[in-house]
Structure 1
Amino acid sequence: MNKLLLTNLFLILCGGWAQAQPHEATHHLDSAGRLYWNKKLPVYLWVSSTPDSAQQRLTRAAKPQYADPLYLDTEGLNYIRTRYAVDKETQNTVTPHQEVMLEIYADGMAPSIKNTFQDAQIHQAAGKTYYGSSLSIQLQSEDKMSGVKQIYYAVNSERFIAYTEPVQMDQQGEFEVKFYAVDFVGNASPVEQKQFIVDLEAPVSNLNVNGITKENVISLSSKIYLLKNDKLSGVKATYYKFDEGTYKVYNGKGIDFAFLEEGHHRITYYSEDEVGNKEQEKTFEFYLDKSAPLMAADILGDRYLANNQIYFSGRTKLKLTAIDNKVGVKEIKYSIDNGEFLEYQNPFYLPNVTGEHYIRYYSVDNLNNQTQSGNATGYEEFKHNVSKVYVDLTGPTLSHSINGKHLYRKDTLLIGPNNTIQLAAVDGESGLQKITYSFDGELSETEYTQPLTQAKEGLHQLEFFGYDNVNNRNVERLFFFTDHSAPKIFINFSVGAIDTKGNLDIYPAHVGIFLSATDTYAGLENIYYSLNDQAERLYSGQISRLKPNKKYRLKIRAVDYLGNSSTKEISFRTSRQQGSAKQ
């Protein structure tokens, strides 16, 4: 039974926390003698012949249901009046006639209240409002009738208390402030509330160095990062500077320090949150050694840099090396494409899938200095290094073209002395490195620099190879026949020689000359001839109409379809007369 009573009492008390106090409706007489009456209250009229007591209550009225009691109908000034005023001395009606009007003010409206949050920075995010240090809450109220009697406020679950001066929010945390005002006749405004968070705690920044020795020695391959955290309003900005330089805003990436000279340096840094809480400056001293890296990744095999992209072949291995001149390296671990971290033992092959890959690796020294190592500096001594690699597994695309006129006999390509073979290759990944070639099964390859020719007549096989910049190779083959044989020329006279003089055959003047030629491979295209060094003419039929008793020199040129040509020249004479052999 006693437990039940205690429980009920506790609930009753708790239920009163942060609840507006009850305020009784009443009346108020101000310093000017104005009477304010809560409009909700009834009015009972009493009359008396003496000023110090009420002798008789007035109850008789034309409409008693509205008169005993009566209620004031108008907000503000109301009057209780007589018909005419009577002079106190003469007891006669005052002339001119005038009413006696007794004032009473009806007040049925609660005060208005407003709040001002001042003297602190504000930040709003994710539906929450944050304030910084020195937050002061000022409450103001106004009442048009009886006036503001009191403002009350409560913080979180505390009881409402009277407001007397601005509320200083000097504690950190989440708050709910409630407030209302009461006038002199008991009208209370609705309870208003504000929810907000006071953030008095500065952010925390930590220096994170990847690649550093116990003696705080770093190299150009090291990385410096700043980690920052704020539990409430969030980090607005982080600043850093080297030595006596000017502060810069940290952009979240590795900090550039390559411009520093080799030697001792100091980095100073701090963070500021969204409501102006500023962290105390922190410093870290280190020695920059530009002569040797602490963690290195070496490529064993093919690689090439093009358009800011490093390409590797499927034959490439990655070698990881860590050097610690002070305490030595305990272990190296690596991960491929966000996979599980594996312990590094020996150089390993890069992925055999074309495309971009990410190799992450890190090392731990023999003191196990890692993230949140707990040492005096409080920074992360080793951080994952990330290398982006692009594995190129395909060689260039090869093509060829024949310069000059060429032929196909069935499925065999025929080329001649005027033809050249042009080779081409493209590679859309690491790019073309070179083209090489070999003829007829030669084991050695010759680098291609200009269009190719083949002087040896006969059937040939051309193998040409395209190498990309990571030494992926493709090969194409071309079979062709080289024709360097010129046509064979034949000359026939329509009649035989009738005489000989000085090693020259003599033919009748009416003789006709017939030309022909044969070609073994490409075939004869044209025959040309010239008499006595005249302009060369295309042979189209019998050469005739020679002049009598004249020496002739006949030059013949035969050309096949590949441009192979042969020439032949003869000299002879014609007789003085038709058919005469005497000269």
Structure 2
Amino acid sequence: MKIFKFVFFTSIMSLSLGLNAQIAMADNQLKPVRAELNTAKKSVNNDTPPKVIKEGETVFVDENAKIYVNKNLPIYLKFSTTPNGKTHDLKSLSHPEDTEPLYLDTEGPNYIRTKWAIDPETKKYAYPLREIQMELYADSKAPIVRPVFNSGSTFKKDKIIYYGHDLEIEFTEWDEQSGVKNSFWSLNNNEWRTGELTFKNEDSNEYTFSYYAVDNVNNYTETESVSFVFDKTPPKTKLLKTKEGSYVFGPNTPVQFEVVEEHSGLKSTYFRLTDVDFEIVRTGQVMPSTLEDGEYGLVFYSVDNVMNGEESGEERIYLDKIAPETSLTATSSFAKGDRLYVSSGSKISLEASDNKAGVREITFSTRGINNEVYSKPFSLEKYHGTSSISYSASDIVSNTEIKKYQEIFVDSLRPATQIEFIGEYFEVANRFYINESTELKLSSSDLNSGVAYTEYAAIGNEFEKYSKAFKLTKEGYNGIMYRSVDNVDNSEYSKSIDLYLDKQGPEIVFNFSNQPIGEEDGIKVYPIGTRLFLGATDDQSGTNSIAYQVNNQKAVHYSSPKTIDISEKKAFKSGQIFEVKITTTDLVDNVTTESIKFKIEE
């Protein structure tokens, strides 16, 4: 048996992380494929070898002196009586047509014989008697030749055979009779070649390997061919960004790659993280749950189906494991414990922030709304009383916030304010008269969120915040407005009150029943029997009372049902000087005091 080797030399990088072991495993797994290939033959049009190859010997004597002749050729028998003497044709007289020429009838040994052997010395029968048999081996069968493809890796897909690095093609030959003289091969229908050959090829391509063999008596095999693809080109891998166009990955984001592989096809893509002790995983897997949020280096490479591996690529990625944080705010709101008070007109807003990937959406549920995507501020104007809002946010890489809950109380009621007077006041026809000492006190109440503030203003002026009881300073008419606002900006309708600030006491009026009869030391003198009449006038709140006191005696109310009016009694005696102190008050307790000094004479 003769073996010819045809070797495709190329190189393969040394892949880390156990790739060589994988190549060895793939080689064992592909042995059945090689066996199948060895029987996969294809007839081609170029089945006639070149003429120069066909011109060969048809008789062959091997090292054991066996004579082989092509069984399909004629044989002419001749003999001579001397080694170099004249030759004579040997024919059959009974059937000359069978020996002119002679054709051997049996594949393998044929015999030209005489009955008994003669001893060359004695010229007598040689003993023991033996028949003379002169062997002539007929050979009509072509050799058997099979190519054997040896490669570090083999792959079959859609009836196409792919070979990887270090491809060797060996011929296994056998011939039953004369033996194989030579084997010939041609690559892609180019020149026929024989002998040992090292074929150095730098191209990955599809090839057709044609071959035939000839034995020592010029029996040819039919030309056969095998097509295959020699693939030494590694894949090219690119890490795909997420659909948002970044290298930010979430816990459940599959790691995906774009791989260009032109020949045998992609077997696997592998990646690992450089900043952490991390086993190789295959494309499509997600990051291990044990990793922490943060930035990592991602190293990756791909291997094709004949174990060509590329140089590793690397990208910096960010593993985002932190969910967004959502906050709830509301206009016109007030927090008390875990409850948030809002008004029917309050706008409730949800805002989320995310540490890396960015917020994708916020969803919420409340009365009449179930798991809706938040898009703009909303209100609960249809509802009064207690409600609840649940909400959560998710980021672009699907980290989802734990759902939050907020108790909401919709306060649609307005507060109420009352005014009260501290000090003197008097009401006439819905107008309140007060004096300058009277204080105005505002008190308010709210059933739900509570009063935020109370304010008041003189009609026509700006409101100011109320903090404590106050007094008026402007004498005369004062119009006061007042109202309260609760903690969710429900504002009470403004109330008003008409006030009149009365700063002046009544004007005292007095008259004597007689004219004075003289004057002593500046004191008027009146005749005995003179009476004194008292009175008071008030053009604002009105006179309330008049009292008098004679010579520091006990004060007496003038015109009281329980007293005798000074004008009705003979109180003034002759020869005396009298001093009458008159005190009058109006309805808001403004006081006027006046003293009268006079003398009575007969």
Structure with bigger gyration radius: 2
Task: Please give the range of the TM-score, normalised by the shorter of the 2 chains.
Answer: 0.3 to 0.5
- Return the TM-score normalized by structure 1: 0.46
Using the size of structure 2 for normalisation, the TM-score is 0.44
